[in-house]
A and B are shown apart, each in its own frame.
Chain A
Amino acid sequence: MSVRIITGLALVCALGLTFGPRHALAQDPRLHKRLDPETAAAVAALVDSASTLGLPAEPLVQKALEGQSKGASGDAIVRAVRELIRDLATARDALGDDVGVDALLLAAAALDAGATPAQLERLRPHRSRESFAGGLAGLVYLMSRGVPAEQSLDLIAAMLNARLSAAEFASLQRLVERDMMAGTPPAEAAASRAQALIRHGRSGGFGDRVRP
């Protein structure tokens, strides 16, 4: 047998071992420990479907556990998991396949906050940046403080373009919070702080965002 055939067979075996017994994975013991049998089975089935769609399981399990913790009914839990699947799928459609779970969760939060898929798509070109999830966190933050979606996107896209780091997105949040407490309207605070961060980044002379 040629080496190619052997390698091919080995690959098939390896893939089979890795992806075959997925059914067992979906029977997450936490679901059965914390939820009543009916709800656990329903959620497990949803998690299974989500895997077929290529969506991550953990956020769905956590959503179910959150519901149980807060005393929600089985129906409410199942509904919430379904909606999360829908939001994660929508976020992935907007941002692309190769986006991580953290970014997907934040994008789903942005959708919840009223962003449209088309608006999210504006950030898609930046998805390979290390600070992409940080940028999405910034987006969710700005929108939650009342900055209109389009303006929030403008600012975040500009910051991602300027290759700002996740830490800089976090400081945007701190600075805007501070300004708001001093009475500045959020949109104004966001615009001036974002611009300052971009300008500082460019003039710093650090070339390609070498970290201090």
Chain B
Amino acid sequence: MLLPKGLQGVIADEELIRRVRAGDAAAFDALVDRYYGACLRFAWRSLGERDDAEDVVQEALVRAYRALRRGRSPREFRPWLLGIVLNRCRSHARRTRRRRLLFERWWARQDPETLRVHPADGAANDDLDPRLKAALAALRPKLREAFLLKHVEQLRYEEMAEITGASVSALKMRVKRASEQVLALLTEDGA
């Protein structure tokens, strides 16, 4: 039945997926252990905020679990999972942007006599070089996605095309532009 935890490292994704579909919840735990870090890394670098990233990764993993239990059988688990994370990131960004926009517009319509708005502080949650953070944040979302998928998650262009819905050539162009922009921002001060 289940191998002890130590030996689960040698079980291929395909086998674990087969077991999840058969109802083995612990097999999914093993997949989570294997890929949580990568999911969090992508979501965090995509969204810029750790808390949001954790929420998004949770949503994504629950959906992945549900899909597997319902019979989905992805050929390659990691790109498929990252695709779900990417979609959750996009929808989260849309929701947050919409809500903040709504609030800011509403707030701007109020009587100017209203007092200080709480200042937005930088998140104290990150050990990433602030210049790198800023460079990523400056990228437009689709460029940032492509850049992260290619150079951080190191997916193949074909895999990226499948999960983003964009063509391989469009993705290559986005990665190139993103790399140029990031480099330009990082080397601005002659670093």
Residues of A within 8 A of B (CB): 49, 52-54, 78-79, 82-83, 86-87, 89-90, 93, 96, 111, 116-119, 121-122, 124-125
Closest chain B residue, CB of each to CB of A115: B118
A sample of 23 inter-chain contacts (CB < 8 A) reads: A52-B102, A52-B106, A53-B99, A53-B103, A53-B106, A79-B111, A79-B114, A82-B110, A82-B111, A83-B115, A86-B114, A86-B118, A87-B118, A89-B103, A90-B117, A93-B100, A96-B51, A111-B118, A116-B118, A116-B119, A117-B119, A118-B122, A125-B54
> Per a CB cutoff under 8 Å, which of B106, B111, B118, B125 touches A117?
B118
> Per a CB cutoff under 8 Å, which of B100, B114, B124 touches A118?
B124
A121 cross-chain contacts in B, Cβ below 8 A:
51, 123, 125
Given contacts A52-B106, A78-B111, 8 further A-B contacts (CB under 8 A): A53-B99, A79-B111, A79-B113, A90-B118, A117-B120, A118-B121, A122-B124, A125-B51
Q: Enumerate B50-68 residues with CB–CB distance to A below 8 Å.
A: 51, 54-55
> Per a CB cutoff under 8 Å, which of B99, B113, B118, B125 touches A54?
B99
Residues of B within 8 A of A (CB): 51, 54-55, 99-100, 102-103, 106-107, 110-111, 113-115, 117-125
Given contacts A54-B99, A79-B114, A82-B114, contact A117 B107 (CB under 8 A): no
B99 cross-chain contacts in A, Cβ below 8 A:
53-54
Assembled-state Cα–Cα distance A160/B51 (Å): 17
Looking at chain B's contact residues, the main secondary structure is loop
Top-5 shortest CB links A-B: A118-B121, A90-B118, A124-B51, A116-B121, A89-B103
Q: Are A117 and B121 in contact (CB under 8 A)?
A: yes
B119 cross-chain contacts in A, Cβ below 8 A:
116-117
Looking at chain A's contact residues, the main secondary structure is helix
Assembled-state Cα–Cα distance A188/B113 (Å): 40
Closest chain A residue, CB of each to CB of B120: A117
Assembled-state Cα–Cα distance A117/B102 (Å): 19
Closest chain A residue, CB of each to CB of B95: A97
Closest chain B residue, CB of each to CB of A121: B51
> Per a CB cutoff under 8 Å, which of B102, B107, B121, B124 touches A86?
B107
Q: Are B106 and A118 in contact (CB under 8 A)?
A: no
B110 cross-chain contacts in A, Cβ below 8 A:
82
A52 cross-chain contacts in B, Cβ below 8 A:
102, 106
A93 cross-chain contacts in B, Cβ below 8 A:
100
Q: How many Å from the CB of A135 to the closest CB on chain B?
A: 16
B124 cross-chain contacts in A, Cβ below 8 A:
118, 122
Q: How many Å from the CB of A51 to the closest CB on chain B?
A: 12
Assembled-state Cα–Cα distance A117/B125 (Å): 13
Q: How many Å from the CB of B35 to the closest CB on chain A?
A: 21
Q: Are A86 and B117 in contact (CB under 8 A)?
A: yes
B113 cross-chain contacts in A, Cβ below 8 A:
79
A79 cross-chain contacts in B, Cβ below 8 A:
111, 113-114
Assembled-state Cα–Cα distance A111/B116 (Å): 12
A117 cross-chain contacts in B, Cβ below 8 A:
118-121
